[in-house]
Amino acid sequence: MTVGDAPAASLEGAFERYAAAARPGLEAALERNLPAPARGAGSLRDAVEYAVSGGKRIRPLVAMAAGELVRAKPAGPLSVAVAVEYAHAASLVLDDLPSMDDAARRRGRSALHLVYGVATAELASVTLLTRAFETIAREPAIAPPLRARILGELAGATGAAGCCGGQAADLSADPGTLGLEDLEGIHARKTGALFVAAVRGGALAGGAGEAALEALTLYGRNLGLAFQITDDLLDWEGDPNELGKDTHRDAHRANFATVLGAESCRTLVAELLETALAALAPFRRRAAVLADVTRFVRDRRS
């Protein structure tokens, strides 16, 4: 894999190095921006903190790297990263509920609803989602018109046109009739939309122009879909102890692994990631971190 004139060897490990440097600040911001305990709210604050802790933080790190790519001051992309991770954590809480995947584990621990109860889990998810929007809305490092635009894009990525719509379509689909195009449509919303919101939001926080945003959108769409396909493969063949979550929770629903088979999935992932990488060509070496994320997604085992 290459980006611009940078050989693959010079990119390998760029994402891990970036993540190691960026994660302490990201983790501090995730903790700092959590809502304060509310009188009479019981364990809601604890449940929210439990939901956010752990995870690889790929989406928020991509948002931060996109901001750095367009030479944004760090505060704006960091707030976008926090909001994206809150939205992602909220979606995981819902995904694990008995009415959805009925999962027992997430991020190597008991699913939140098994620790705090279904009602508190549902309230924690809503709390996190609203906090995501609050975090961006009050960020002074982002110009007000850009704040409004980022908020609109995050809303689209999480609502009926994004995660919620994709999850609804997934739950109601007939596995026996779904083809590749149907699956791509579902997961472009369920998974891909938040990757696009992350990369675009981080870049918008730095005032990125439309040409840069168009390239990053193409990158995010293909990266998100490749991420979902590898997730389906890991659910099919992975070790639940290594993954930190239950496997085969989607066995009753069509997914890329069951529709295409393992080898075809790997071929499609490679094609999607090459397209994502090609979209970064205009940025040349400045895109080294985002380019190396494609390797990370391709090779991940958890």
| Residue 237 confidence (pLDDT) | 77
For the record, the structure tokens of 49 come out as 């903190």
Supply the pTM of this predicted model: 0.92
Q: Could you give the angle at the alpha carbon of 249 between the alpha carbons of 94 and 234, nearest 5°?
A: 105
Reported as a single tens digit per residue, the pLDDT across 121-149 is 999 999 999 999 999 999 999 999 999 99
| Residue 2 confidence (pLDDT) | 55
135/130 Cα distance (integer angstroms): 9
User: Is 68 domain-assigned?
Assistant: yes
Q: Span 74-87, mean pLDDT?
A: 98
pLDDT band at 100 (very low <50, low <70, confident <90, very high): very high
| Residue 271 confidence (pLDDT) | 97
Task: Provide the percentage of residues in the chain whose pLDDT is more than 90.
Answer: 79
Q: Is residue 300's pLDDT more than 80? A: yes
Q: Is residue 7's pLDDT more than 50? A: no
Reported as a single tens digit per residue, the pLDDT across 17-71 is 999 999 999 999 999 999 998 888 889 999 999 999 999 999 999 999 999 999 9
Reported as a single tens digit per residue, the pLDDT across 172-194 is 988 888 888 999 999 999 999 99
Reported as a single tens digit per residue, the pLDDT across 238-277 is 566 665 656 555 555 778 988 889 999 999 999 999 999 9
Q: How many CA atoms lie within 13 A of 35 on its CB side?
A: 24
| Residue 246 confidence (pLDDT) | 62
pLDDT band at 205 (very low <50, low <70, confident <90, very high): very high
Range in 211-225, 229-243, 271-285 with the lowest mean pLDDT: 229-243
User: Is 292 domain-assigned?
Assistant: yes
Sign of CA dihedral 21, 201, 129, 159: negative
Q: Which domain holds residue 105?
A: 8-299
Provide the CATH number for the domain around residue 114: 1.10.600.10
Q: Is residue 227's pLDDT more than 90? A: yes
Host H or E run for residue 105: strand 105-106
User: Is 63 domain-assigned?
Assistant: yes
| Site of tokens 């994004």 | 162
User: Is 3 domain-assigned?
Assistant: no
User: Is 185 domain-assigned?
Assistant: yes
Host H or E run for residue 106: strand 105-106
User: Is 45 domain-assigned?
Assistant: yes
Task: Provide the percentage of residues in the chain whose pLDDT is more than 70.
Answer: 92
User: Is 223 domain-assigned?
Assistant: yes
Domain total in the chain = 1
For the record, the structure tokens of 97 come out as 């509920």
User: Is 140 domain-assigned?
Assistant: yes
Average pLDDT, the chain: 92
For the record, the structure tokens of 72 come out as 């944004």
